[in-house]
């Protein structure tokens, strides 16, 4: 598996260095595509590693500004020490956000496995009240997400709606794909109609077309939402949406820990393996 992933890595991972991500973002920008850059790293158990993560993100937002790249940043709170201390993660996140806001940028909170959902939402809500230039991912496969979206709409928060890529128990998550898709559709409509800035993070063309129809029928301005996709996935669809005048943002991951990150995703759910393989030739 690792040999196979290494072979295809250049398509889905920008590289190991920050400059690789910046260069990839520039190439996407030339095609009219915006980006969000993520320095790969999660499940940090050492405060020094969390501090290094902060330093990397501080450097990253400076590089984005210096090179005039159309990119914002995205992080996982376990990369910033959530497993060590929620307070540590909050303080580290605020350090990055302050710098990003100073440089006129925006920060997305990634969502991780369900054991981190409550802490991630709590820390986000606290920091979003101070820094509106932040948004958060919500996973449609979790039963709780409808209530979470209601709360986030009240907070006027930007939401990145995703299906979810972690292995979860049927006690807390929809086990069937059709139900995950159905909940995604319902939450997407609520978000779009609420006026909240909505990032529709999916490669599912049926859901993409549904979003376009909702926006058209309800006269929702195209600057009130965007489509987000992964680097190297559905490239034809990305380009077509840009040609149609929609905002498209591609997730650009980089870092030395790309292999553990990718292996974990591939082994957690068989659907992740199939998803990558079937998009190789797009």
Q: Give mean pLDDT, residues 36-45.
A: 95
pLDDT of residue 206: 97
Spatial CA neighbour of 134 closest among 42, 72, 56:
72
Predicted TM-score of the model (pTM): 0.93
- Note whether 168 and 114 are within 8 A (CB): yes
Each residue of 226-260: pLDDT tens digit?
A: 999 999 889 999 999 999 999 999 999 999 877 76
Using alpha carbons only, what angle is made at residue 111 by residues 45 and 79, rounded to the nearest 5 degrees?
A: 25
CA 269 – CA 2 distance, rounded (Å): 16
Residue 13 has pLDDT above 70, yes or no: yes
Helix (H, G, I), strand (E, B) or coil at 220: coil
Domains located in the chain, CATH noted = 2-278 (3.20.20.220)
pLDDT of residue 270: 58
Q: How far is CA 139 from CA 105, 151, 191, 216, 265, in A?
A: 24, 14, 13, 25, 15
In sequence order, the 6+-apart residues with CB closer than 8 A to the CB of 158 are: 134, 135, 136, 196, 197, 198, 199
Each residue of 67-123: pLDDT tens digit?
A: 999 999 999 999 999 999 999 999 999 999 999 999 999 999 999 999 999 999 999
Q: Which residues are catalytic?
A: 110, 160
**165 in the Ramachandran plot: left (φ > 0), alpha (ψ -120 to 50) or beta?**
alpha
Q: Which residue has the higher pLDDT, 184 or 280?
A: 184
pLDDT of residue 219: 98
Stated as kind and residue range, the H or E segment containing 72 is: strand 71-75
């Amino acid at each position: 598996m690792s040999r196979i992933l290494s072979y295809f890595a250049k398509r889905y991972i920008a590289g190991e260095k920050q400059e690789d991500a910046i260069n990839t973002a520039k190439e996407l920008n030339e095609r009219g595509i915006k980006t969000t850059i993520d320095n790969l790293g999660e499940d940090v158990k050492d405060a020094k590693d969390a501090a290094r993560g902060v330093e990397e993100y501080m450097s990253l937002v400076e590089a984005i500004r210096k090179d005039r790249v159309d990119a914002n940043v995205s992080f996982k709170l376990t990369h910033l020490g959530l497993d060590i201390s929620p307070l540590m993660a909050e303080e580290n996140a605020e350090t990055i956000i302050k710098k990003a806001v100073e440089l006129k940028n925006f920060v997305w909170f990634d969502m991780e496995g369900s054991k981190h959902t409550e802490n991630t939402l709590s820390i986000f809500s606290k920091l979003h009240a101070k820094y509106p230039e932040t948004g958060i991912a919500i996973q449609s496969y979790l039963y709780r997400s409808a209530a979470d979206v209601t709360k986030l709409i009240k907070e006027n928060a930007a939401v990145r709606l995703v299906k979810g890529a972690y292995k979860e128990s049927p006690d807390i998550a929809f086990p069937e794909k059709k139900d995950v898709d159905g909940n995604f559709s319902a939450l997407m409509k609520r978000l779009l109609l609420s006026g909240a800035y909505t990032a529709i993070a999916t490669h599912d063309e049926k859901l993409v077309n549904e979003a376009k129809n909702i926006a058209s029928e309800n006269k929702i301005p195209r600057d009130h939402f965007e489509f987000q996709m992964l680097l190297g996935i559905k490239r034809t669809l990305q380009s077509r949406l840009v040609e149609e005048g929609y905002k498209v943002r591609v997730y650009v991951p980089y870092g030395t820990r790309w292999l553990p990150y990718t292996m974990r995703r591939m082994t957690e759910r068989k659907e992740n393996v199939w998803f990558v393989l079937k998009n190789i030739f797009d």
